[in-house]
Structures are given as structure tokens and as C-alpha cells.
Amino acid sequence: MMTDTNLTAILYKKGDIKLEDIPIPEPGQGGDRVAIEPGVPCRMCRFCKSGRYNLCGDMKFCATPPYDGNLSRFYVHAADFCFKLPDNVSFEEGALLEPLSVGVHACNRGGVTLGSRVLVCGAGPIGLVNLLTARANGASEVCITDIAESRLEIAKQLGATFTLKVSSRDPQVVAQQVEEVMGGKPEITIECSGATPSIQTAIYATQSGGCVVLVGLGQADVTMPIVNAAVREVDIRGIFRYVNCYPTALAMVASGKVDVKPLITHRFSLEDSIKAFETTLRGEGIKVMIKCAR
């Protein structure tokens, strides 16, 4: 019988998660209610020194081998990557600062600001946080696309101006449909699906002089209409996780500008972690939350 000193879910290989008891790590001075930014860089290299620490070559990121994640009762983390939660922000909201920070970084990279007209491709969890962030940044119109009507319904509830169910396999046809729905081409497109046809649509749909931000990661090599983008001066930008975004994400939630709570559709205890992953694997819900406290 396992004693629950520090119950921890450990991924050994793809599809192999085990619950084990490990020793309790010792924290240093000052434990508060905090949200954890899961990547700790070296703080010494030129990327760290210039403020782009997400590009650090010596990043220690939760659950990115060889580093373990923090799905355990007790976990110790660098203090400068812990963000104190105000009394009105719950632990669950604190946990959702992680995906929300992806939206903050993507909207920063794309230049989403007051009055922007934005297309978000893909209405999964990351597409939805980009929708929320774009609206909070002052975007006047946000159109969101997906192949599933159920996801688009959630997007509508979260404030999408327009939704488009993708039925055609031709990216130029879909781009035309986006233009018809929005009454013109978007200035900024945030691609969150990683699907090749959707990346192609993103380029065709964006107005000349605009920007495409690639958030979703699918295949390593993707065929893109790069000449179409080049001759129309459409910038293509990548993002890698987030950088200096947690304070913004926390301020958005604490001030009530963004409500992340509707993203949580399932809740499990740490003991039921494996069920939680199976739920996600089946594609059910949006965000599946695992409660690590007893």
C-alpha cells in the first residue's frame, strides 16, 4: 500500500503514466498563494539578458525532458517565476494563467490593439485564450474558425464576433469565406490549429501588409504559399511559449477583463490523474483541471 507523503503523477513514456510517492522537497523562505510560470531560464545568456528568456538554450521547463512536471502534492519552484495571487484570484484561475500567457504573447507578436480586426484559426483551448486576449486588447472584431460546431458554440459564448465552420479542404475557398463573413480581410491572423490547410488559409485570408502569427505546431515541414505572403508584405511570425506575459495575464484575470473560468469543463483529484488524461485524449471538454491539494 502506497503512503501518500507526496503523491506524484510521472510520465514514463507515451501512454504510460504512474502514480508514485516521492520525498517532499524543502522550499526556501516565503511560501504564498502563487501561480507558477513553469519555465525557468539560466538568466545569464544573451537571450535572458535582453529579456527574451523564452529563447534561452538552457531552459528548465516543467514536464519537458529531462525535467519532471509539477503534478504532485508538493513542488519547489524558483521564487522569481512564482506570481503572488491576489485574494480574488482562485488557484484554478492561477493555473489558467499558463495557457492565457500564450494568448498574451501571440497577441503581442501580432500587434493586436484597439480596433484590430483579428482572425483566430482553431477553437481549441489555445484558440479560445487567443480570442479572450484579443478582445481584452481591444480588437473590434474577432472571427474564429474550426471544424467542430460545438467548439464554435463555446467561442460565441466567450465573445467571438463571427464564427466559421470549416467544411472545404481548399484553403483559398475558406479564406474567401472568412472575407465574406467579416466583410473584409482581417489585419492579423493567429493560427492555433497547426493543420497545414489552416496555415495556408491564414496566409490567404490576411490583408496585405498584415501579420500571421503561427501558434499551433503540427508537422515539422509545411507547404505554405510563401510568395503570396511575400508579394503582399504579409509578415509571418512564430511564437515559442511566452515571455514576460504572466504579470499581464494575472492583471487581466484579477481586474475582471478576462474570465477564464468557463474554460474549465472537468475536474479531477490527483489520485484520478490518469482518468483526467484519458478524458483529454478522448477530446472531451476544453480544460481538464487536476486538484493536487488533499
Residue 27 has pLDDT above 80, yes or no: no
Task: Tell me which of 238, 253, 279 is where a domain ends.
Answer: 238
What was the pLDDT predicted at 1? 46
Does residue 207 lie in a domain region?
yes
What was the pLDDT predicted at 126? 97
What was the pLDDT predicted at 28? 63
8 A C-beta contact, residue 290 and residue 269: yes
Query: Measured between alpha carbons, how far is residue 230 from residues 34, 211, 233 in Å?
Result: 44, 11, 5
CATH number for the domain that contains residue 13: 3.90.180.10
User: Can you tell me the distance from the alpha carbon of 62 to that of 10, in angstroms, rounded to the nearest whole number?
Assistant: 12
Cell, residue 128: 479560445
User: Can you tell me the distance from the alpha carbon of 182 to that of 52, in angstroms, rounded to the nearest whole number?
Assistant: 35
Q: Are 119 and 208 in the same domain?
A: yes
Q: Please list, in sequence order, all residues whose beta carbon lies within 8 angstroms of the beta carbon of residue 267, skipping any fewer than 6 positions away.
A: 288, 289, 290, 291
**Over residues 248-276, mean pLDDT:** 97
Give SS3 for 190: strand
Does residue 70 lie in a domain region?
yes
Cell, residue 135: 478582445
What was the pLDDT predicted at 196? 97
Compute the residue count for the chain.
Answer: 294
What was the pLDDT predicted at 31? 82
Task: Tell me which of 221, 238, 255 is where a domain ends.
Answer: 238
As a whole-number percent, the residues of the chain with pLDDT over 90 amount to 90
What was the pLDDT predicted at 29? 63
CATH number for the domain that contains residue 213: 3.40.50.720
Q: Are 88 and 190 in the same domain?
A: no
User: Running DSSP on this structure, what letter comes out for residue 11?
Assistant: E
8 A C-beta contact, residue 168 and residue 176: no
As a whole-number percent, the residues of the chain with pLDDT over 70 amount to 98
Does residue 47 lie in a domain region?
yes
Does residue 1 lie in a domain region?
no
User: Running DSSP on this structure, what letter comes out for residue 45?
Assistant: S
What was the pLDDT predicted at 254? 98
Residue 214 has pLDDT above 70, yes or no: yes
- The mean-pLDDT minimum among 16-20, 83-87, 97-101, 213-217 falls in 16-20
Cell, residue 73: 502534492
What was the pLDDT predicted at 3? 64
Residue 2 has pLDDT above 60, yes or no: no
Sole residue written with cell 535582453: 50
**Over residues 201-223, mean pLDDT:** 97
Q: Are 91 and 118 in the same domain?
A: no
- The domain of 182 spans 103-238
pLDDT-derived band at 81 (thresholds 50, 70, 90) equals very high
Residue 266 has pLDDT above 60, yes or no: yes
8 A C-beta contact, residue 97 and residue 248: no
Residue 215 has pLDDT above 60, yes or no: yes
Q: Are 93 and 115 in the same domain?
A: no
Residue 4 has pLDDT above 80, yes or no: no
Cell, residue 283: 477530446
Q: What is the pLDDT of residues 47-62, one digit of tens each?
A: 999 999 999 999 999 9
**Over residues 258-262, mean pLDDT:** 97
Q: Report the Cα 186 to chain-centroid distance in Å.
A: 21
Pick from 192, 188, 94, 212: which is nearest to 134 by CA? 188
Pick from 178, 183, 230: which is nearest to 205 by CA? 178
Give the chain's mean pLDDT. 95
Report how many domains make up the chain.
Answer: 2
User: Can you tell me the distance from the alpha carbon of 229 to that of 171, in angstroms, rounded to the nearest whole number?
Assistant: 14
More confidently predicted of 29 and 280: 280
Q: Are 140 and 94 in the same domain?
A: no
Q: What is the pLDDT of residues 135-176, one digit of tens each?
A: 999 999 999 999 999 999 999 999 999 999 999 999 999 999
